[in-house]
Each structure stands twice: as C-alpha cells, then as structure tokens.
Structure 1
Amino acid sequence: MKLKFWIGMLISIGCLYFVFRNIDIVKLLETLHSVNYLYLLFAMALQLSTIWLRAERWKYLLAPIKPLTFHHLVPATMIGFMANNLLPARAGEFIRAYVIGKKEHISKTSSFATIILERVCDMITMLGFLLLVVLFIRFPQTSYAGASASFLSPDLLKKAGGLSALIVLGILVVLVLLKEFPQKTTAIARRLLQPLPQSISHNALKLLESFRTGLQVLKTGRHLLFLIFWSLMIWGMAVVTGWVILHAFALNLSFMAAMLMTVTTSFSVAIPSSPGYIGPFHAAISAGVLFFVPDMDKSVVAGIAIVFHLVCIVPITLAGLYYLWKENLSFAEIQHVDKNEEEVNSQKDFRVHPADV
C-alpha cells in the first residue's frame, strides 16, 4: 500500500479518537434511537438531489465538447461519487471521466478537465459561503467556553473568512489570466516553479494545464452564468440537507449554522483519510455542533456525527452501486481503471467536497 494510504488511515484513527474518546455508549445509543427518522429520509432524498444537480452542471461544462442530456450524465456522476466513498485516494473523479468517456466516446482528458473545473467552482463556492458565515452569523456567546471541546472559535472563523476572500480573489485572477492569456500565464508559472523539486513543479504544471483545458469550455458568458447558478444550487441544497439533519435531532440551529457545518465538512473531506472520509468528517460535525452547543454531552454529539455521516454517504453509495450494475460495469473494472493514467489522480489533492460526499 502507498504511504499516503497509511497516512490517511492514521489521520482517520486520530480523528475518531478525538470524537469518540470517553463517550457513554448508552447515551450514544439513546441518541440514535431518539432521532426523527422521517426527517432523515427527507435528508437522504435531498442528499441524492445534490448529485442530480451536479449532473446538470456537468451537462453545461461538457456541452461545447459533446451535447449530452441530464440522463446521460447521472449514472457516471453517481458511480464517481460512490467510488469516492468506497475506494482510497478519491479515485472517483477519474472514474467518472472514464465512465462517461467509455459510454459517450468523449476524450477522458477533456472530460477530466471539466471535472477539475468543477472542483475549482466548488472551492470558490465554499470559500464564499465561509465569508457569508463570518459576515452574517450570530456567534454564540458561549462558544468560547467550548473552546476546549471544539477547535472552532469566532476569532478563527473571522481570520478564515478574511483569508477566504483573498484566496477567492486570487483564484479568480489566475483563472481569468489562464482564460485570456494561457501561454503567458503558463510561462510565468513555469518560471516561478523552477526553484521547487521537479516532481512538485511537474505536477503543478499539469494541474495548471488541466485548469486551462477546462476553461476552454467556457466559450460564452452564458456557460459561466449557468456554472455559477448550478454551483450555488448544489451547495445550497447541501446546506438544506445539513439543516434538516440537525432538526432531526431537535437542534433548532439557524440556516447559517448549517452553512458553517457544510463548509467545515467540505474541507474535512480534502484531508487524507480512509475511504468514506471516516474520521475527519465526524470530527468536523462534532466541532460544528460543539461550537454552537458547547454544553452538549459528547456522547450525544458523537451520535449526531454518526448519523450525519451515514445520511451523506449511504444513499449515494447505494445509488452508485445500482448504476454500476445498470451500466454493465463491474467494481473490479472501475477499481483498475487505466493504470497508465494513475498519475492523474495525484492532481486531485486540491479537491473540496465535497460534498464529494
């Protein structure tokens, strides 16, 4: 196994220890028993809808390459996110490109470039949501008291919000330069990367090239508007999903609180971990709940984290396995997708997910 896999496993174990140490199993089971399961069924449907919305967004990204319908793209999208949940190294992005390329005879390189652009849009949207949280959320007066239980604090969020504004601005500037002056921008990046080790600079330039290729599909302002609209719809639905899950536990937190928890979980899944984001996802949910309700029993918080994770993972995984069967693909096939292009997976370290969830 690769070193990265074992690092991810160690991080998962560490996060699970943070969440589940010294908990009362009886209280945890009582929490699982007391949840409103009708709310959870509704949340599962909402979670599935985020994948349908992603398929709709992907349609507009692929339109200049090959016009496809929503129904063409749902299977590949669902299979890709299922693979992210079950396979190490977040292989789902490349698997999604492989599935749609095989089915619709689209270049895997072009398809993967649009997925890279999706990830950039996801990251910008999440950073934008974080900025909204910092500007408009009412921070709980007791949140400092929970500083020992949650790594979140108002000061940390305000600093992160300011940093996110700078990052979004920087990303937008780079994307505009890549779109309008691709050759000059690449040449400047190559010079700036020269002092770095060759392996790092090589991967960075390949990632930059994927950005540039993905941007070429945005030939008109209309495509850009649709991209922005569907990105907001996807992540807005993810926030609604989290809000419904919180209400399933009778946690009457604000919509902005659910937005903050969506942001924290989306960044947590970018951390190396075991398949299914086990550990970092639970730690992010626990930190979010304790930030707003610092006096809540940790055993109850652990139960909320377990349910939150299952609602976000299980429906998409089952739907992906169904589409894998429907498309006459085997798990072994997608698990060993084109080993010659395995290096492409190393470019996905910037992913956000989100929501890959």
Structure 2
Amino acid sequence: MQKTVLGTLKVAVPVALGIWLVLHFYRQLDTDQRTALFEAFGRASVPWLVLSNLLGWLSHVSRGWRWRYLLRHLGHKPGFWPCYHAVMGGYFMNMLLPRAGEASRAAMLYRAEGVPFEKGFGTILAERAVDMVMLLGIAGLTLLLQAEKLDLFRTRIAAFRAQQDPSSEGGGLGWWLLGLVVIGGLAAAYLVFTRPALRARLMDGVRGFVEGVRSILRTPDKGPYLFHTVLIWALYVAMFWVGFMALPETRHVPAAGVMAGFIAGSVGIVLVQGGIGAYPAFVALIVSIYMPDGDGGIIRPEALAMGWLLWVAQTLMIIALGGLSLLLVARKRRTP
C-alpha cells in the first residue's frame, strides 16, 4: 500500500505541477497575446527545429561514447551501440517515471552487454555529478555575462510572485502541490529508515557512485572523457541557440539572453518531470527580458512559443529514438 501511494505521488505530483504551470502562464496572456502565441507557432521554421534536434541527438551520441571510457576502466568493454541505446532508452523511461532513467539505462546495458547493474548505475551517478559541475559552471559564466540584468531579473521574479495570490484558484493549487512534494519527501525518508532492504539498495547505489567517481579520476582516458564532456554541453547550448532561429522575433536575442534561457530551461527540467509546463514557462520568463517591450505582461508570447517549440521538438525526438532503442534492446539476446 505504501509503495503504491508513494509511486502514485512520484508520478502525479510532477505531472500536476506541469499542468498547473501550463494553465497558469496561459491565463497570464490577454486575448491579443494568445493570438500572437498561436500565430508564432504557425510561423516557426521547421528546418531550424530539425537542425536543433540534430545537434541534440549528437549530444546523446557523444554521451553514449563517453560512457564507454568509464566502463572500460572497470574492466568492461561494451560496444558503442549498446551504450547509445541504453542512453536513449533511459531518457525515454525518465519521461514516464521520475528518476527511472538512470536505473533503466543500467539495466539495459546489463541485458545487452552483461555489465553488472551496480557498476553501470554507479558510473551513471558519477556522470550526473560531472553534469552538475558543468551546469553550475555555465550558470556562473551566464551570471558574469549579465550582471547589469540582475536588478531586472529580481524585478521580473518579484512581479511573478506578486501574481501568485494564495486565495486564487491557481495559487491554491500551487500551495497544495508544494504540500504534496513535502509529504512525498517525508514518506521517502520514512521508507528508507524503516525498510532494511530499501536501505541496503540505497547503500549499494552509494557504493556504486563512489566506484564511478573513482573510475573518472583514475581512467587513463581523461583527455577523451573531458573532450566529450565539453562537447556534450556545447551541443546542448548549440541546440538551444539554433532553436531560437526558428522564430523571427527570437533570432536577435543576444548571447546572454540565450544562455540565461538555457539555464532557466535546465532548472525547469530538473524541477518538473520531463520539463512539461516548466521548461517553456521558465524559458519564456527569462528570455522575455531580452526582447523588445510588448503589450504588457510578464512574458512575451513569442518567447513562450519558443519555449514550447523547443520542448516539443526535444520530446518528440526522445519518444521516437528512445522508444526505438528500447525496442532494439528488448529484442537483443545477450550471448555469454
């Protein structure tokens, strides 16, 4: 019963929060802005979005290749394609269930190449630590690029918070969702401390993470690993930047605005399952600061359209290619 409730909350809370964000930001637009939003969708340049997705796909290819360096140091030599399919399948599963991507990725590599789950999972967690360092580095660089915009950021965020009336329907739902998040966190902590089996699995994950970090520090392929790490994040930023070319109104957003929007979108993906609702909203909230003043309101409809176009394009790619990878791994029979 407890597992069922906790599992339901893990799925329902992020989805509900994403839906609330979609409805909330849509309600912030007046009639003319809503018209401009849908007109922007119609003006989007598909070739630019395709190129953006191609860059995103190359980053996933690079991630699959980079993974092999850590696994090789642990005594395993999986092929590129099994690693790539595990990466893409993990992204697909992560869209369905919170934090399921890492475990699914390790499980798929075990099925395809026989790499022990704990070792594969540990290297994935170590990768996440490296990714966090890269994201924080990009965020720090972004702040340096726009020190003059910090006051405007604070004003925009304050205006957004001022619109969150706790007595309103949207505000009330937001407080309910916050309460559910807190309850879910407390329930997870309770299960960890009261279930020895669950605690043992958690400790196995910690040990795997430590082993993964050691593999990064001790791998003889530090140069190639660092190259692919930089390449992955350069492709992420390029994917985001090229997507801005899809709309005339966003083509002239300065580099500082693109970088700030990239960080905002990354935060949205972390906070809400799959970034639904949060990714477009956070991107629009920040990018609008760098666009010419519109007809009032916190966000520009074209910026919101840009956020949605990027999110939809990336999501469709993950569904198509991630689903294909899952199918191919499921059909593979590992040979000793």
1:149 shift after superposition: 5.9
What are the superposed Cα offsets for residues 272-311 of structure 1, whole Å, 9 maximum, x if unpaired?
43xx321221222112212322734643233222101012
Q: Which amino acid aligns with 1:134?
A: L
Q: In proportion to residue count, which structure has more helix?
A: 2
1:225 shift after superposition: 3.6
Counterparts of 2:243 and 2:303 in 1: how far apart (Å)? 13
5 Å-filtered alignment, 1:95-106, equals 95-106=104-115
1:140 shift after superposition: 4.8
Q: Match for residue 74 of structure 1?
A: 84
Structure 1 position 5 matched with structure 2 position 11: yes
Q: Match for residue 122 of structure 1?
A: 131
Counterparts of 1:223 and 1:238 in 2: how far apart (Å)? 23
1:326 to 321, 325, 328: 328
> In 2 relative to 1, CA 231–150 (structure 1 residues): closer, same or farther, beyond 3 Å?
farther
Contact 2:118/2:205, CA 8 A, preserved across alignment: no
What are the superposed Cα offsets for residues 70-99 of structure 1, whole Å, 9 maximum, x if unpaired?
2331111111112222x1213111111111
Q: Match for residue 264 of structure 1?
A: 264
What are the superposed Cα offsets for residues 4-38 of structure 1, whole Å, 9 maximum, x if unpaired?
32322332133223321143442222101112221
5 Å-filtered alignment, 1:121-200, equals 121-137=130-146, 139-140=148-149, 143=152, 146-147=156-157, 199=192
5 Å-filtered alignment, 1:79-98, equals 79-85=89-95, 87-98=96-107
Paired positions, count: 283
Counterparts of 2:160 and 2:289 in 1: how far apart (Å)? 6
Counterparts of 1:269 and 1:112 in 2: how far apart (Å)? 21
Q: Which amino acid aligns with 2:308?
A: I
Q: Match for residue 287 of structure 1?
A: 285
> In 2 relative to 1, CA 123–326 (structure 1 residues): closer, same or farther, beyond 3 Å?
same
Greater alpha carbon shift after TM alignment, 304-313 vs 248-257? 248-257
TM norm structure 2: 0.75
Q: Which amino acid aligns with 1:33?
A: G
Q: Which amino acid aligns with 2:83?
A: L
SS in 2 for 1:15: helix
> In 2 relative to 1, CA 247–309 (structure 1 residues): closer, same or farther, beyond 3 Å?
same
What are the superposed Cα offsets for residues 187-209 of structure 1, whole Å, 9 maximum, x if unpaired?
xxxxxxxxx97936958755543
What are the superposed Cα offsets for residues 118-160 of structure 1, whole Å, 9 maximum, x if unpaired?
1001100000001111123464599356455667xxxxxxxxx
Contact 2:254/2:290, CA 8 A, preserved across alignment: no
> In 2 relative to 1, CA 244–139 (structure 1 residues): closer, same or farther, beyond 3 Å?
farther
Structure 2 stretches of 5 or more lacking a match?
A: 1-6, 162-188
Greater alpha carbon shift after TM alignment, 50-59 vs 200-209? 200-209
1:231 shift after superposition: 1.7
Contact 2:59/2:235, CA 8 A, preserved across alignment: yes
CA RMSD of aligned residues (A): 2.8
Counterparts of 1:36 and 1:198 in 2: how far apart (Å)? 49
- Percent same amino acid at aligned positions? 22
Structure 1 position 216 matched with structure 2 position 214: yes
SS in 2 for 1:217: helix
Q: Match for residue 305 of structure 1?
A: 307
TM norm structure 1: 0.71
Q: Which amino acid aligns with 1:269?
A: I
Contact 2:92/2:318, CA 8 A, preserved across alignment: yes
Q: Which amino acid aligns with 2:10?
A: K
Contact 2:56/2:236, CA 8 A, preserved across alignment: yes
1:112 to 105, 121, 124: 121
What are the superposed Cα offsets for residues 203-262 of structure 1, whole Å, 9 maximum, x if unpaired?
875554332121232363643443332222111111011111112113212334322222
What are the superposed Cα offsets for residues 37-88 of structure 1, whole Å, 9 maximum, x if unpaired?
2111111111111110111111111112312332331111111112222x12
2:318 to 316, 319, 324: 316
Structure 1 position 14 matched with structure 2 position 7: no
Contact 2:55/2:235, CA 8 A, preserved across alignment: yes
1:30 to 39, 48, 52: 39
5 Å-filtered alignment, 1:46-65, equals 46-65=55-74
Greater alpha carbon shift after TM alignment, 243-252 vs 137-146? 137-146
